Amino acid sequence: MDHKEFATFLAKLKENKISNKKFGDFVDYNPTTICLYASGKIPVPKVLAEAVRGLQFKEQIGIDLRNIIK
């Protein structure tokens, strides 16, 4: 997963009123680090990329991510 795809996912989360802080807490990463991954300054770790793919799949099948990421 590259930083552009990750940034697009974060933008979708913001549309659903899920902040980088909430997402960072959910995946156990610092919100500042999440921003560094989105900007491409640090590559997105494979573990985080897999977590994002799982959340993208859940979103595609209609599960509201706000119920998962609290």
pLDDT tens digit sequence for 24-52:
999 999 989 999 999 999 999 999 999 99
Find where tokens 């595609």 sit: 60
Residue 1 has pLDDT above 90, yes or no: no
Q: N- to C-terminal Cα distance for the chain?
A: 24
Please report which helix (H) or strand (E) contains residue 40, including its range. none
